[in-house]
Structure 1
Amino acid sequence: MGSSTLLIIIAAIGGVTVALQAQMMGLLDKSIGTLEGVFITYAGGGLLISLVLILTRGGNLGAWQSVPWYAYSSGALGLIIVGAIGYSAPRLGLVATFTIIVSSQFVVAALIDHFGVLGAATRPLDLSRMLGIALLLAGIWLTIR
């Protein structure tokens, strides 16, 4: 199996997992509340990754000082993601929720690439990418109308 095939499989597993997690977070949101569901989600993930780090003797945690300060906001951003998905999924449905989320990700990712924000390599926003984003925005309209 080539490395690109493996990357595609890993990305697909991530996509499947996000959809499954969204449904579970929606159930938590409806049953115990948004904040409580976010807590359960993060506590469960925190316990699991703690076990992995213990088993791998901390991995590369010793290099934490070499990371740019703004990279540590990823935990707070993750809270927003989990909360937004947990709140939106049971109210909009999974398809509408993810159409909006993924389209928003593409727009922001294109801007990050174009301007090289937060240390990203600069990848200019060309006509093809702009048309792709326009199709995504049309997809939002078709999905939630």
Structure 2
Amino acid sequence: MKVWIYLLAVAAGVSLSIEGAIYGELGKEIGKLESSLYNFAVGTLIIGLVLLFLGKGSLSYTFKAPKWQLTGGILGTIYLTILVIAIPLVGVGVAMISVIFGQMAMSMVIEHFGWLGSERKPVNKEKMGAAALMLISLFLIF
């Protein structure tokens, strides 16, 4: 098992909670949409610099890629903007547990049906139990 992948995923989750809290507060000061714009502007600059030195892909393929594959940018914008709005209202914990539950539930559906190029992995009782426990944790943390 590649434990380091799990550790990186945990680090990503930690950074998302910190990011959400920071941008929730920034949104109070400069505006919610402005906070999201700032996030994406800074992120674009940073990834642009990284791409300059480490990029090995083909950015021009973007124009040839199936349109559904390009919706990730829209979804990422929606995700962050909702967090910027939600965190000051419900708190970081409830917002993040809600996000994780939504991710878990949709991931199970995507994998069960093999949507979006994913390998088919049927939903089983263990996965349903895990989702139920996440939903219970949402109510308990609320």
* Alignment TM-score, normalising by the size of structure 2: 0.91
State the 1:11 CA deviation.
1.3
1:115 to 2:113 alignment = yes
Q: Distance in 2 between matches of 1:136 and 1:73?
A: 27
5+ residue gaps, structure 1, are none
| Aligned twin of 2:86 | 88
Q: How does 1:1-145 map to 2 (within 5 A)?
A: 4-56=2-54, 58-60=55-57, 61-64=59-62, 67-144=65-142
5+ residue gaps, structure 2, are none
Greater CA deviation, 60-69 or 15-24? Answer: 60-69
State the 1:21 CA deviation.
0.5
Amino acid at match of 1:49: I
RMSD: 1.6
Q: How many equivalent pairs are there?
A: 141
**Percent same amino acid among aligned pairs?**
28
* Alignment TM-score, normalising by the size of structure 1: 0.90
Amino acid at match of 1:121: E
